[in-house]
Amino acid sequence: MKLLTKTLKSYLIYSSLLLLVTVPLFYFVVKRVLLHSVDKSLKTQLRDIRSNLNANISTADLQVWSRLDKDIHLEKSGTYFNDRIYTRYIKTRENDDDQVPYRQIESCISVNGQYYKLTISTSLVENEDLLASIVLVEALLLVALMSGMLWINRNISRKLWAPFYETLSKIQGYEFNKHASIDLKKTNTTEFMDLNRCLENLLNKNYDTYLVQKEFTENASHELQTPLAIFQSQLELLMQTSPLTEEQAGLINSLETNNKRLARLNRSLLLLTKIENEEYQPTEFIDISELVKKFIQSYQYYSQKKELKIMEEYNDPLMIQANKTLIEILIGNLISNAVRHNIPGGRLWIALQGGVLSIKNSGAEEGLETDKIYQRFYKKGAEKDGLGLGLAIVQRICNISHFSIQYQHPEGMHEFKINFFPVS
């Protein structure tokens, strides 16, 4: 989640909570104020009625007065009681289920020695409508205020963080092997100025380190190739000398094997370094199925020697744009491993479908350790003929080419899957 999104998310959560708390609270406060106003009006009306009553008023006058004002109801009461105010819901019509809220005050008055219960009512419908309108206006104002604040904050934050995002974009596209000059956007924000200055210094130092490492690797590889080639030629001459005892021949053969292993190790390490330095830049369109068929043909001798049963299944044609040398190394290493580590009379199954190349072979019953198989010089069990760099090279090619690789061990088979178009 982006930094700006996190900030706006915090504001949004706070605003939503504020809205959820403020609107109900405002509703109850306003409702209380309106009820207090109605109660005050009822009490004033009651006080005026009591002050206008006199001892000479008759019961008939009270009945006539009660019928003239629908909001006033008068009935006899046997006992005296204190004033009380309450809300009551009354049906306005006989067949109508809707009930209208009324605020009522009940009081006991004495006329000619007789107690009467005086009830004064006032409708709360207008108050409820007024309350709903006030709360609606208040809620809309709050929503408009918070939306405006979020919009202003979003735009201001976007402008403030623009230099950071531009710097980040340029850093992500920077490549050491090209060493293109990086022009970071000028800004008057102190923190971003310090960040740009530190990044420029860091990139320059890393580029110098990259050049030293590259030069050392190339020199070391070149200097090692010459003595290895000379050593190999001298061993071949030594093998042609006579007389040559069986013990001497064994020693020379061992030296030749180790020398070839050392030469292969040197080439593999140089290849890994070039891949990591991203020196394989040119790309072209490659037909994966044709490339796989070519490697299967090249390993036909070893497959027949082991009596392997090869099954090929090409359901979908696949063309990708990549560096051909790297793709050849990638597929060649996987097929080579599937043949070399297979068992006599074993199976090799290759399938290409939906942008996924699957290479599955029989072999050791135990699966490989998924957390170690891509480490350099990792070997399983008593394996001695390999260098332990093949899968490390495969993984590195997949990483820089944006492929995904997956290892599985279903039903005693070792399976590697290369997804050339992984979903990010």
User: Is 15 within the bounds of a domain?
Assistant: yes
Give me the amino acid identity at 395.
Q
Looking at the fold, whether 261 and 290 belong to one and the same domain comes out as no
State the pLDDT at residue 382: 44
Distance CA 313, CA 324 (A): 22
Determine the pLDDT at residue 325: 81
Task: Find the CATH number of the domain harbouring 234.
Answer: 1.10.287
Burial of 394 (0-12, 13-18, 19+ CB in 10 A): buried
Element (H, E) at 20: helix 3-52
Nearest in space to 121 (alpha carbons), one of 39, 60, 51, 62: 39
Residues 6+ apart with CB under 8 A from 79: 115
pLDDT at 58: 66
Question: Residue 379: its pLDDT value, please?
Answer: 66
Q: Judge whether 136 lies within some domain.
A: yes
Residues 266 and 317 in one domain: no
Pair 9, 131 in one domain: yes
Tell me how far apart the alpha carbons of residues 387 and 378 are, in angstroms, rounded to a whole number: 8
Assess whether 234 and 289 both reside in one domain.
Answer: no
Which residue type sits at 142?
Answer: L
- Read out DSSP for 178-217? TTPPP-PPP-S-HHHHHHHHHHHHHHHHHHHHHHHHHHHH
Please tell me the distance from the alpha carbon of residue 179 to that of residue 207, in angstroms, as a whole number: 7
Domain end among 143, 178, 202: 143
Instruction: Decide which of 228, 258, 276 is a domain's last residue.
Output: 276
Per-residue pLDDT of the chain (424 residues; tens, 9 = 90+): 666 677 777 778 888 888 888 888 888 888 888 888 888 988 888 888 787 776 556 666 666 766 666 778 888 887 888 889 988 887 766 556 678 888 898 988 877 777 888 888 888 888 888 888 888 888 888 888 888 887 887 788 778 878 888 888 888 777 766 665 677 778 888 888 888 888 888 888 887 777 777 777 667 766 677 777 777 787 777 777 777 777 877 787 778 777 776 776 777 667 767 776 666 667 788 899 998 998 888 888 888 888 899 999 988 888 888 888 888 888 988 998 899 888 899 999 999 988 899 999 998 878 787 778 888 776 665 455 555 677 888 888 888 888 899 998 888 889 999 998 875 5
Query: Is 149 part of any domain?
Result: no
Q: Is residue 348 part of a domain?
A: yes
Counting the structural domains of the chain, the total is 3
Residue 99 in domain = yes
* Dist. CA 342–CA 299, nearest whole Å: 13
Question: How large is the angle between the packed helices 390-401 and 246-276, nearest 10 degrees?
Answer: 20
Shared domain for 109 and 78, answered yes or no, is yes
Report the candidate in 272, 276, 275, 274 with the shortest Cα–Cα distance to residue 264.
Answer: 272
Omega cis (within 30) before 243? yes
Q: Are residues 311 and 403 in the same domain?
A: yes
Same domain, 233 and 301: no
Q: How far apart are CA 234 and CA 236, in angstroms?
A: 5
Q: Sign of torsion, CA 201 205 211 213?
A: negative
Domain identity same for 413 and 290: yes
Structural domain contains residue 323: yes
pTM higher than 0.75: no
Give the HSE-up count for residue 404: Cα atoms under 13 Å, Cβ half-sphere.
8
Same domain, 262 and 288: no
What's the DSSP call for residue 172? H
Residues 250, 292: one domain? Answer: no
Domain stop point among 105, 124, 143: 143
> Could you tell me which residues are beta bridge partners of residue 89?
101
Same domain flag for 113 and 8: yes
Q: Do 18 and 117 fall into the same domain?
A: yes
Determine, yes or no, domain membership for 8.
Answer: yes
Domain that holds residue 236: 190-276
Residue 356 lies in a domain: yes
